[in-house]
Amino acid sequence: MMNTKKLMAFHSYKGGTGKTTCVVNLAALYASLGLKVCLIDFDIYAPSLTSYFGASPKYYIHDLLSGEAGIHDVIVDYSKKIKFDGELHIAFSSPAKEDIHSVKINYDNNFQLKALKQLLTIKRQLLEKEGYDYILVDTSPGIRYWSINALATADILFLMLKINNMDINGTKTMISEIYDSLTRYGLSTKLILNKVQGASPFNAYDQENFNEVQTEIENILDLPVFLSIPCFCDIQFNRDEFLWALNKPEHPFSMKLREIPSLLEEIK
Ligand SMILES: Nc1ncnc2c1ncn2[C@@H]1O[C@H](COP(=O)(O)OP(=O)(O)O)[C@@H](O)[C@H]1O
Ligand SMILES: [Mg+2]
């Protein structure tokens, strides 16, 4: 049977929860498994993929939304630049101030509705006509117009948070204000706890204590935890963390990310 859970978006209440890190690495992992993947930078307000990939494409998501470019103008094929068994195609968001401003201020109702329809059309085109296996979408944190639009097209939402009361409370609000209504249209939300406790000068790592914390969060948010990823200083403080999951496959972070495809298979 065809797997219909094909558009996965990463979102969080706060920035710095690891959305970009996880979405890029998961996209690359799927491509390395032989699949055809489209990675879209929908963090319109603070894009980061141009910097991550050192890219300066001719067209951006902004040109697509304004009608100045088609989806094929925007998508860049990375399959030749990085060796994969499969394919990785990337649509970048423009980091230029005037581009960010131009999509930010366009709150005209007609434009909004058109943009959402356009996203749904592109989703269908890529998945049904062009043989993409997955579309992975990075978004801006918080309740932002473009993020909600991206989430409205998603089948799976990876909701990321750090274990911190501000994150937990904000996430709880977002669950009741956005996700719950999208769930009625078939969105499946998966909670990812990132940067969970490692050893600190004051506490040694304690799995049992962490299980307690995890259960507490599940109770507060009324969602099971899909995956917990520890905090690794070598990732946080490495200047070059490019495609870590591919380049350092034996690293525990990479092993954690490799659990995602199989976890999704199991619960399909
Ligand atoms: N599990 C982790 N352990 C340590 N550092 C991490 C981890 N996940 C992400 N990071 C680091 O945290 C920072 C923010 O991550 P990023 O993916 O940019 O977050 P977001 O896109 O949600 O703002 C980056 O420097 C990244 O390398
Ligand atoms: Mg980001």
pLDDT digit string, tens, across residues 236-262: 988 888 999 999 999 999 999 999 999
Mean of the pLDDT values across residues 98-122? 83
* 200 within 8 A of 233, measured Cβ to Cβ: no
Please name the residue whose Cα sits nearest to atom 3 of ligand 1.
231
Of 147, 235, 253, 260, best ligand 1 pocket probe by most atoms within 8 Å of the beta carbon: 235
CA of 157 to the centre of ligand 1 (A): 18
Mean of the pLDDT values across residues 221-241? 93
The mean of the pLDDT values for the chain is 92
Mean of the pLDDT values across residues 187-208? 87
- Count the neighbouring beta carbons within 10 Å of the beta carbon of residue 190: 19
Ligand nearest to the CA of 17: 1
Q: What is the DSSP string of 1-52?
A: ------EEEEEESSSSSSHHHHHHHHHHHHHHTT-EEEEEEE-TTS--HHHH
* Lowest mean pLDDT, pick from 135-144, 151-160, 212-221, 234-243: 234-243
pLDDT of 1: 42
Strand, coil or helix: 154: coil
The structure's pTM equals 0.95
Sorted by where each starts, the structural domains of the chain and their CATH numbers stand as 6-267 (3.40.50.300)
